[in-house]
Amino acid sequence: MGALKATKSAKGRERTPPLPRQMVLQHPRGTSETEPYPELENPAAFRQWFEREGYVVVRRAVPATLCDSGVKTFCREVLPDRLGFFERHASGRYERHVLTETGFMKYPIMNLQDMSEKKYTDFRSKGLDVLTQPRIQKAVQLICGEAGRLVHSMYFDGNQTTWAHRDGHYIDAGEAGQMIGIWVAAEDIHPEAGRFFVLPRSHLMKVPGESGDPNSDEYKACMADFVRHGPLDCLSPVLRQGDMLMWN
């Protein structure tokens, strides 16, 4: 099982840059605006879609009430803590909060499962409840053929606006390409909040930066050019509260 990435809506937030392509699709090319993604109740079609496209969206994977509860516990236990140190994705170190101009936590927290059970009791518990919901477990089981194992988790409040990248260049299974990422929308995701985007079928081909430093300026420029001008569609699915995006 991969990463929990939760983002708040764009209410009161500074505008973020648009996705790096002139045409960004909300639905896979060749499908209508009706929901194209196979349901979990059709396991063969669900697995086939994921293996072919490299991603899939599961609607209502997490109950809205649990998402609301998780966000509230974050706002109560974590966001106001100005003295606490949290493991950060950007640096890999334990650091205090850096807030945006509108008061959101700028950098995501890493590994909720490692947070103090005493100090952040409800937030840690709610976060793990989200990650271990039955529909998430079922989806991972269908793809992997066995129960998933949580390796890494994150919680987003503000938008860090990361560059275009392939996650496998930073973290992956022992056998490359076998790790699955999971992104859960804790709230309805407004387009101006910086929505998650994927390039369907990119898992079946080599992309720029397969070798070299994935943090270098050259890598970032190559990947941005590949997203803007490459042969694949750039897809940013509409994600509402409780929806989950799984990707290879």
Does residue 168 form part of some domain? yes
Does residue 22 form part of some domain? no
The pTM score is 0.86
3-state secondary structure the chain: CCCCCCCCCCCCCCCCCCCCCCCCECCCCCCCCCCCCCCCCCHHHHHHHHHHHCEEEECCCCCHHHHHHHHHHHHHHHCCCCCCCEEECCCCCEECCCECCCCCECCCEECHHHCCCCCCHHHHHHHHHHHCCHHHHHHHHHHHCCCCCCCCCEECCCCCCCCCCCHHHCCCCCCCCCCCEEEECCCCCCHHHCCCCECCCHHHCCCCCCCCCCCCHHHHHHHHHHHHHCCCCCECCCCCCCCEEEEC
Q: What is the pLDDT of residue 33?
A: 65
Does residue 31 form part of some domain? no
Q: What is the pLDDT of residue 175?
A: 74
User: Which residues of the chain carry a pLDDT beneath 70?
Assistant: 1-22, 32-33
Q: Residue 141: which domain range?
A: 43-247
Does residue 3 form part of some domain? no
Q: What is the pLDDT of residue 15?
A: 44
Does residue 99 form part of some domain? yes
Domain count, the chain: 1
Does residue 12 form part of some domain? no
Does residue 108 form part of some domain? yes
Does residue 19 form part of some domain? no
The domain that holds 128 is classified in CATH as 2.60.120.620
Q: What is the pLDDT of residue 32?
A: 67
